[in-house]
Structure 1
Amino acid sequence: MKKAVQFLLLFGSAALVLGLAEAWVGQTEDRTSELVLVTETELVTVSLVVEEERHEVEVRAGSSVYDVLEAAKEQGLSFKGREFSGMGFFVEEINGKAESNRQRMYWIYSVNNKKAEVGVSSYIIQPNDVITWTYEKSY
């Protein structure tokens, strides 16, 4: 009987030690997750130029041109558009000036002086990019 009690005490102690070790490891993993979260919220600054009006906009790394437009709303910019399947969101109006199919006038954006070939929701910006919007005739 004495050996049975010793065995139960030994087994119980081992279980307690393992349980505490697992709890400590779990806390360490939680801290690691918090550190990763901080890294993911790195901010980048880009310039947004709409018909000679310049905005400096700060967004999270990995943001799209659409996210930049959304952030620029805080500086008074307004825009409207729609989503096209497979191509992303296309802007159809900025600050009250709408595209005109009849006159073939459209909002076109470029990044670092290179015209974009995808919708604003599909173009991922890089730090210090310059996004320029022009209202121009398309043939």
Structure 2
Amino acid sequence: MPKNKLSLHLTLFFILLCATAFFGYQSFYVEKSSDKQVEINNNNSVTNNDIETNNKVTTTEDKIIPNKKQQTSTLVQETVTTSIQAISEEHKQLPYSATITVNQKNYTVDFEKEGTILKDLLDKLQTESDFTFSGINYSGLGFFITEINGIKNDNKQGKYWVYYLNGQSAQAGISVQKINSGDNIKWSYENSTF
């Protein structure tokens, strides 16, 4: 190897060695002794069937940082906290909603797609609120309501639960009636002619 190349390599090596020592030392140098606490909050919504949790994970890491002036070391403790919140599918924001009225009490039920069957919305509402209903499923005819919120059909008096869709008497049973966003379903306990 020629002498000029050798001195060039040695010079570059010396410069790199000095730069590494200088910048490496600066990254560990602490002007004052202090405790440093870092907190990171991660509030991501995670959807997963049938879970609802709120977990907190805390990690503590000790670092020893040399102090040039005092020839001592300072212990700095860093704490990182991460919060994870998972929301069950029932609680996620759904794009459509309809109003169901019973005895002048309004219930809002959210649903995922237009054309959802009314019986499915009543089942969903029953799990999410104080609304209750029961009935009988007749093969070939569909589901027939026999009770809403504790009030039963009365065959002797001829009083039954009937519903109105957007102010009009319903033309289909709840097993086949499709509901769209903004629809109003009103249940009325009244004398029926059927």
Superposition TM-score tier, normalisation by shorter sequence: 0.5 to 0.7
Structure 1: distance between partners of 2:185 and 2:99: 6
1:45 aligns with 2:87: no
Structure 1 runs, 4 residues or longer, greater than 6 Å off: none
Q: Which has the higher contact order (CA 8 A, sep 6+)?
A: 1
CA RMSD of aligned residues (A): 1.3
Answer 1 or 2: which has greater strand percent. Answer: 2
CA contact (8 A) 1:49 1:55 kept: yes
Structure 1: distance between partners of 2:100 and 2:119: 11
Question: Per the alignment, in what secondary structure is the counterpart of residue 123 of structure 2?
Answer: helix
Answer 1 or 2: which has greater helix percent. Answer: 1
CA contact (8 A) 1:59 1:67 kept: no
The code of the aligned residue for 1:109 comes to: Y
1:63 aligns with 2:116: yes
Alignment: residue pair count: 98
Corresponding residue number in structure 2 for 1:130: 184
Cα separation, partners in 2 of 1:43 and 1:86, compared to 1, 3 Å = farther
Q: Give how far 1:117 is off.
A: 2.5
Normalised by the size of structure 2, how large is the TM-score? 0.48
Normalised by the size of structure 1, how large is the TM-score? 0.66
Corresponding residue number in structure 2 for 1:111: 165
User: Per-residue CA shift, 1:60-90, capped at 9, x if unaligned?
Assistant: 2131111121121111101000112333211
Structure 2: distance between partners of 1:84 and 1:115: 21
Structure 2: distance between partners of 1:119 and 1:50: 17
Structure 2: distance between partners of 1:60 and 1:82: 26
CA contact (8 A) 1:89 1:119 kept: yes
